[in-house]
């Protein structure tokens, strides 16, 4: 009974989305806003307006205000794809950004960005500051996406551009992000907001931030590569199969194929091994058949006997 109720109300998914939003809020609000290193999308646009208004408009509140019309636009154009999880995602991340910065009424004393650690990093280890901000941003977004959430913003714009104009989502998000970063760079330059660092340097940091956070998002969603899939084409496939089963204790599948060059039918062996076993497998295959054709590819997810399951 508990299992059925739990499946109907995915509490853990929402807890994970909120936790991811907190990490994202920490990365943006504490590490990036005062550093003037702007991420792309709605967050970057909100930061640019924050700078234009002399830091009078809270970043999180501005992010939420921008996302509300985008959210309803997404619902209108794409149906209920962007539902409750999206609303929770961008609302909680907006809240945490302002909470950690002390911009929520009643929590003005929080202001983590004024802590000695953050100030020391801004003054003497700016690159590490950006790296930590990028890591927190990427980790938070990765967790949100992993549990089927979203932070709205450029995600919705990209989905609509794909539907209406056939633009690939990755290209659309990149276009929006680079536009926002460039605009923020112009704002920082015109307002002379960072006398210690030229606006172009901060813009390059922002591009670097995008790259790092995107890689971390991919790692959270796909996981680190922890196995390899081997495709083996050999006239001695029976002997190789026996070795893989006995020495490696791995299952193996033989796919029926047709070699166009030699115009013959043959078996293609498919096996999945751990990273540690790749080198040994290659050596054993070559020792049996030096002319064997071996292809090894990355594997992100495996569910089955002998391999741990991704969370």
Each residue's pLDDT tens digit, 166-188: 766 556 677 778 888 888 888 88
Beta-strand (E) ranges in the chain? 227-233, 252-259, 264-274, 293-299
- Has residue 149 been placed in a domain? yes
Assign 146 a pLDDT band (cuts: 50, 70, 90).
Answer: confident
Assign 56 a pLDDT band (cuts: 50, 70, 90).
Answer: confident
What are the b/e assignments for 102-136, b being 16+ CB within 10 Å?
A: bbbeeeeebeebeeeebeebbeeebeebbbbbbbb
Q: Which domain holds residue 132?
A: 2-222
Q: Among candidates 214, 197, 245, which has minimal Cα distance to 40? A: 214
Residue range 275-292: average pLDDT?
88
- What is the per-residue pLDDT across 212-268, written as a single tens digit (0 to 9) for each? 887 887 777 666 666 789 999 988 989 999 999 888 888 888 988 877 877 888 889
Q: Are residues 239 and 283 in the same domain?
A: yes
Domain boundary among 222, 246, 268: 222
Q: How far apart are CA 165 and CA 261, in angstroms?
A: 42
Among the residue ranges 92-106, 145-159, 244-258, the one predicted with the least confidence is 145-159
Residue range 137-146: average pLDDT?
87
Q: Are residues 113 and 254 in the same domain?
A: no
Q: What pLDDT sits at residue 168?
A: 64
The answer to whether 62 and 132 are in contact (CB under 8 A) is no
Residue range 134-161: average pLDDT?
82
Q: Are residues 110 and 203 in the same domain?
A: yes
Q: How far apart are CA 162 and CA 146, in angstroms?
A: 22
Mean per-residue pLDDT of the chain: 83
The answer to whether 294 and 279 are in contact (CB under 8 A) is no
In the chain, the percentage of residues whose pLDDT exceeds 70 is: 86
- Has residue 309 been placed in a domain? no
Q: What pLDDT sits at residue 212?
A: 87
Domain count, the chain: 2
Q: Are residues 292 and 206 in the same domain?
A: no
Assign 80 a pLDDT band (cuts: 50, 70, 90).
Answer: low
Higher-scoring residue by pLDDT: 224, 140: 140
- Has residue 161 been placed in a domain? yes
Q: How far apart are CA 263 and CA 62, in angstroms?
A: 65
The answer to whether 48 and 33 are in contact (CB under 8 A) is no
Q: What pLDDT sits at residue 91?
A: 94
Assign 23 a pLDDT band (cuts: 50, 70, 90).
Answer: very high
The CATH number linked to 265 is 3.30.70.120
Q: Are residues 188 and 60 in the same domain?
A: yes
DSSP codes, 2-26: HHHHHHHS-HHHHHHHHHHHHHHHH
Q: How far apart are CA 50 and CA 46, in angstroms?
A: 6
Residue range 24-28: average pLDDT?
94
Domain boundary among 222, 252, 277: 222
The answer to whether 25 and 93 are in contact (CB under 8 A) is yes
Helix (H) or strand (E) holding 42: helix 41-52
Q: Are residues 105 and 217 in the same domain?
A: yes
- Has residue 306 been placed in a domain? no
- Has residue 304 been placed in a domain? no
- Count CB neighbours of 268 within 10 A: 17
pLDDT at 5 over 50: no
C-alpha distances (whole Å) from 267 to each of 52, 228, 235 are 66, 20, 8
Q: What pLDDT sits at residue 136?
A: 94
Alpha carbon of residue 95 to chain centroid: 21
Q: Are residues 48 and 150 in the same domain?
A: yes
The answer to whether 236 and 289 are in contact (CB under 8 A) is yes
Q: Are residues 207 and 288 in the same domain?
A: no
Assign 8 a pLDDT band (cuts: 50, 70, 90).
Answer: very low
Domain boundary among 155, 190, 222: 222
Q: Are residues 24 and 93 in the same domain?
A: yes
Higher-scoring residue by pLDDT: 83, 128: 128
Q: Are residues 175 and 93 in the same domain?
A: yes
Q: Are residues 294 and 246 in the same domain?
A: yes
Q: Are residues 92 and 132 in the same domain?
A: yes
Q: At what angle do helices 59-78 and 154-165 cross, to 10 degrees?
A: 30
- Has residue 23 been placed in a domain? yes
Q: Among candidates 231, 229, 183, which has minimal Cα distance to 206? A: 183
Residue range 271-296: average pLDDT?
88
Assign 112 a pLDDT band (cuts: 50, 70, 90).
Answer: very high
- Has residue 58 been placed in a domain? yes
- Has residue 283 been placed in a domain? yes
């Amino acid at each position: 009974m508990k299992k059925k109720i739990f499946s109907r109300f995915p509490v853990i998914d929402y807890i994970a989305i909120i936790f991811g939003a907190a990490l994202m809020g920490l990365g943006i609000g504490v590490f990036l806003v005062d550093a003037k290193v702007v991420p792309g999308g709605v967050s970057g646009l909100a930061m640019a307006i924050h700078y234009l208004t002399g830091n009078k408009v809270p970043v999180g509140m501005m992010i939420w205000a921008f996302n509300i019309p985008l959210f309803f636009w997404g619902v209108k154009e794409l149906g209920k794809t962007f539902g409750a999880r999206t609303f929770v995602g961008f609302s909680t991340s907006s809240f945490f950004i302002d909470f950690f910065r002390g911009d929520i009424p009643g929590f003005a004393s929080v202001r983590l960005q004024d802590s000695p650690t953050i100030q020391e990093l801004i003054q003497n280890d700016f690159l590490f500051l950006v790296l930590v901000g990028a890591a927190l941003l990427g980790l938070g977004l990765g967790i949100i996406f992993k549990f089927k959430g979203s932070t709205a913003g450029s995600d919705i714009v990209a989905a609509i551009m794909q539907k209406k104009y056939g633009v690939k989502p990755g290209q659309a998000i990149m276009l929006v992000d680079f536009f926002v970063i460039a605009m923020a760079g112009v704002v920082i330059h015109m307002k002379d907001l960072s006398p210690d660092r030229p606006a172009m340097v901060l813009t390059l940091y922002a591009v670097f931030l995008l790259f790092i956070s995107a890689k971390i998002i991919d790692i959270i969603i796909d996981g680190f590569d922890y196995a390899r899939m081997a495709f083996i084409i050999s006239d001695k496939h029976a002997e190789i199969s026996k070795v893989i089963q006995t020495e490696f204790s791995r299952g193996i599948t033989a796919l029926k194929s047709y070699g166009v060059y030699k115009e013959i039918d043959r078996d293609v062996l498919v096996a999945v091994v751990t990273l540690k076993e790749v080198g040994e497998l290659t050596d054993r295959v070559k020792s049996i058949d030096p002319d064997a054709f071996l292809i090894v590819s990355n594997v992100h997810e495996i569910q089955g006997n002998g391999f741990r399951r991704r969370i």
